[in-house]
Structure 1
Amino acid sequence: MLRSLACAALLAAALATPAAAGAGDYAFESVAPEYRKGDDVTVALRLVHKPTGKPVSDAVVIRTRLDMAPDDMAAMESPLTPLPAGEPGVYAFKTDLSMAGRYLFSIAAKVQGEPETVVGKVVFRAVK
């Protein structure tokens, strides 16, 4: 009897443990919908935990790419240099936006406790 109760308690505890969030529970979004074209522009993305709406700090960015694919110019790639974090969940980069148009920021990051890599594709506009 005691053994049955112990097994039932273990099973209940296992079922009560929340499931781990998946990479799909996170999203990158542009801090601003558009930026001024030019050299040494700071572009910032926010990483958000979608179920709570809270920013996610301390993610490790493992891959970035910025190009003009939305305007059919994927070969127009701009270099990205990471900048220190200014606010929680915001990941900023210095880049050159050489011409006005739409840019695609592709980013991949590891979030603590997540086995999957969080991947984002964010489109924003550079204006004159």
Structure 2
Amino acid sequence: MNIRYRWRAPAATLAALLAISPIAARADSDTYEFQLIDSSTKAGEGVILAARLINKRSGKPVSDAVIFAWRIDMAPDGMPTMTGSLEPHTSDEPGVYRFKANLTMEGAWRLSLAAKVQGESQTIVGRPLLQVQP
């Protein structure tokens, strides 16, 4: 085996670990934040959830973000594998990103979002909590 190829796998693993480490994501978590418009809702199908992405330094909403990953689960209640369906939904309010969700169970849910913002090199990650009532 060629020495050059022997070191590629460990180097790639290290690069992946650094990319997802809390240290790598820290700068943008100080600047941006996802906030739920309403942190409580009723259980059911077709529930519309809305999250606002704000720039914490200016206090202004960020309307040009590209949300590229989303998930909703019950990790706060100790059930990370209990997920609900979630799909993007239209929004006409600047900086507000809406999703249509099927929330089949009452309890605490975590909405996980990942976004890219123009001019920022790092991914913005948010995990606001939602309380679902019966």
Q: Which amino acid aligns with 2:122?
A: E
**Cα distance in 2, alignment partners of residues 46 and 77 from structure 1:** 22
Match of 2:109 among 76, 79, 103: 103
Look up the equivalent residue of 1:59 and give its one-letter code: A
Scaled by the length of structure 1, the TM-score of the pair is 0.81
Unaligned 5+ runs, structure 2: 1-26
Aligned to 2:6: none
- 8 Å Cα contact 2:47/2:103 also seen in 1: yes
**Structure 1 residue ranges without an equivalent (≥5):** 1-21
The corresponding residue for 2:41 is 35
- Count of residues in Structure 1 that have an aligned counterpart in Structure 2: 107
Aligned AA for 1:23? Answer: D
For 1:30-70, what per-residue CA distance to the aligned partner results, in whole angstroms no more than 9, with x for missing partners?
10020111000001110000011110002001111100000
Alpha-carbon offset, residue 124 of structure 1: 1.0
Provide the alpha-carbon RMSD of the alignment: 0.9
1:66 alignment counterpart? 72
Map of 1:54 onto structure 2:
60
Determine if the alignment matches structure 1 residue 44 to structure 2 residue 58: no
- Tell me, what secondary structure is at the counterpart of 1:65? strand
Which residue identity lines up with residue 93 of structure 1 in the other structure? Answer: F
Runs of 4+, deviation exceeding 2 Å: none
Which letter maps to 2:108? R
Which residue in the other structure is 1:81 paired with?
87
3-state DSSP of counterpart to 1:45 = strand
Deviation, 1:29, is: 0.7
Q: How many Å separate the matches in 2 of 1:78 and 1:46? A: 20
Q: State the distance in 1 between where 2:117 and 2:28 align.
A: 9
Whether 1:94 and 2:100 are equivalent positions in the alignment is yes
In structure 2, the partner of 1:5 is none
Q: Give 1:85 deviation, angstroms.
A: 1.7
Q: Which has the higher helix share?
A: 2
Whichever residue aligns with residue 41 of structure 2, its letter is Y
